[in-house]
Amino acid sequence: LSDRLTDTFRHLRSKGRITESDVNSTIRDIRVALLDADVALPVVRHFTGAVRERALGAEVHEALNPAQQVVKIVNDELVTILGGETRRIAFAKQPPTVIMLAGLQGSGKTTLAGKLAYWLKDQGHTPMLVAADLQRPNAVTQLQVVGERAGVPVYAPERGNVSGYDAAIESRSGTQGFGDPIAVARQGVEEARRQQRDVVIVDTAGRLAIDEALMRQASDIRTAIDPDEVLFVIDAMIGQAAVETADAFQRGVDFTGVVLTKLDGDARGGAALSVAQTTGRPIMFASTGEGVKEFEVFHPDRMASRILDMGDVLTLIEQAERAFDRRQADEMARKFMAEEDFTFDDFLQQMAAIKKMGNLKSMLGMMPGMNQMRDAINALDEREFDRVEAMVRSMTPFERTHPKQINGSRRARIARGSGVQVSEVNALLERFTEAQKMMRQMRRGGGMPGMPGLPG
């Protein structure tokens, strides 16, 4: 997947502007890539439509080349659909805040109940768990174990308290269910209120497939406890079935947020896009393992990168956008076109821009087509940058624009002024001459590849 996209973008990178046929062929590749990531077909269609519209529209970001523009559009669109900003739990004004979990069996609800409780407890909340999955006696036991690991109390129906409990345990049938999960959920919330717990998390039953009776049960529990949040829990590995499942739960129970589980697996996360797009509900949390701490707030931007599998490029673009002052880039481009010589002021500006972008070495490694500049700047590390800056600042304006005129006595003065050895000034001048030569070569080669100001 990633290879194919990378090829597409490499192809685009070599062109000066985006044409309709560029967009069309890119869209075709993105389509395949998304289907590979198990995004549902209708979602893929909608998504590619939105990307096409934006890519062909007037919205052109001058600081980026065509390939980067398409990456950015694809990424922005993904992040938008995935929910933009992360949404937080809507806590009730009158505690306890009631959080109900719903989803297919095996999706990770019970595990999540423990994680969520642990996470909330860690932030100073006083959660309680309620075992309202009475389909199988084991489900109650499982939640009790989970609660113990999280160090959080569990409200569960007791043997003998609930009709059918003993019978269910004895028969181990696990199919009929026992007791009244709606009553247990209600009592659990009441118990939490009585104990002045500020959050109560209600675990519910699920089936392996969408099931009318169970959906009704979940809906009845919802009505009985009037939760502040209903979290739909879905396994990231569910693939193409994500849309149908999410749709059924939205119609059957309705939910306020989504939790994506098993992201520690190799699922690409296409389900996230499908669910978010189909239901319009935000994905709030991600579950990344079986342990009680393997849980995090969902980050739409990270998921977008995961779906596209090109995090480095995206990070680079963001950093580049931040670092580049438009005017500076324009000026650099103008000079380039006007065949004015590359001066020490330009050199300084470029280094400052690169420095602003973060770690120099990793930057050079990430930057597509940065190889040419690499030799000229490679020797610079962050510490050395300060010395170079000091040297350039010790030059007169004339020297900065006429580096060839910097003779021995000028070099000695610059070295004194910046507190370095003359040999360092010599090395800098040598490196600068290399960069200048390279700029001339590139200009002869026609056009200006890559980002303005950063010869690509």
What residues make contact with Mg ion under the rule CB under 5 A? 109-110
Among 85, 166, 290, 375, binds ligand GDP (CB under 6 A): 290
Closer by beta carbon to ligand GDP, 144 or else 349: 144
Contact (Cβ atoms closer than 8 angstroms) between residue 344 and residue 429: no
Structure tokens at 355: 């420095």
Closer by beta carbon to ligand GDP, 75 or else 217: 217
108 lies in the binding site for ligand GDP (CB under 6 A) = yes
Convert residues 67-106 into a mask of x (bound to ligand GDP by CB under 6 A) and - (unbound): ------------------------------------x-xx
Closer by beta carbon to ligand GDP, 111 or else 278: 111
Question: How far is it, in rounded angstroms, from Cα 296 to Cα 312?
Answer: 21
Cα dihedral 300→30→246→208 (10° resolution) = -110
CA 117, 121, 127, 129 dihedral sign is positive
Closer by beta carbon to ligand GDP, 110 or else 305: 110
Question: How far is it, in rounded angstroms, from Cα 268 to Cα 307?
Answer: 6
Among 109, 197, 281, 431, binds ligand GDP (CB under 6 A): 109
- Which has the closest alpha carbon to 284: 319, 213, 223, 232? 232
Residue found by looking up tokens 């296409």 in the block: 270
Convert residues 237-266 into a mask of x (bound to ligand GDP by CB under 6 A) and - (unbound): ------------------------xx-xx-
Summarize the annotated binding site as residue ranges.
Answer: 103-110, 203-207, 261-264
Q: Nearest distance from residue 147's CB to ligand GDP, in Å?
A: 13
Contact (Cβ atoms closer than 8 angstroms) between residue 108 and residue 262: yes
Cα dihedral 415→418→419→423 (10° resolution) = -30
Closer by beta carbon to ligand GDP, 75 or else 142: 142
Contact (Cβ atoms closer than 8 angstroms) between residue 115 and residue 129: no
For ligand GDP, the binding residues in 188-207 under the rule CB under 6 A are 206
289 lies in the binding site for ligand GDP (CB under 6 A) = yes
Question: How far is it, in rounded angstroms, from Cα 120 to Cα 349?
Answer: 47
Question: How far is it, in rounded angstroms, from Cα 320 to Cα 396?
Answer: 30
Task: Give the one entry of ligand GDP, Mg ion, none that residue 136 binds, where binding means its C-beta sits below a cut-off of 5 to 8 angstroms depending on kind.
Answer: none
Question: How far is it, in rounded angstroms, from Cα 225 to Cα 227?
Answer: 6
111 lies in the binding site for ligand GDP (CB under 6 A) = yes
Q: Nearest distance from residue 440's CB to ligand GDP, in Å?
A: 56
Helix (H, G, I), strand (E, B) or coil at 65: coil
Closer by beta carbon to Mg ion, 143 or else 310: 143
Among 288, 343, 394, 436, binds ligand GDP (CB under 6 A): 288
Question: How far is it, in rounded angstroms, from Cα 362 to Cα 385?
Answer: 15
Task: Give the one entry of Mg ion, ligand GDP, none that residue 68 binds, where binding means its C-beta sits below a cut-off of 5 to 8 angstroms depending on kind.
Answer: none
Point out which residues bind ligand GDP (CB under 6 A).
103, 105-111, 206, 261-262, 264-265, 287-290
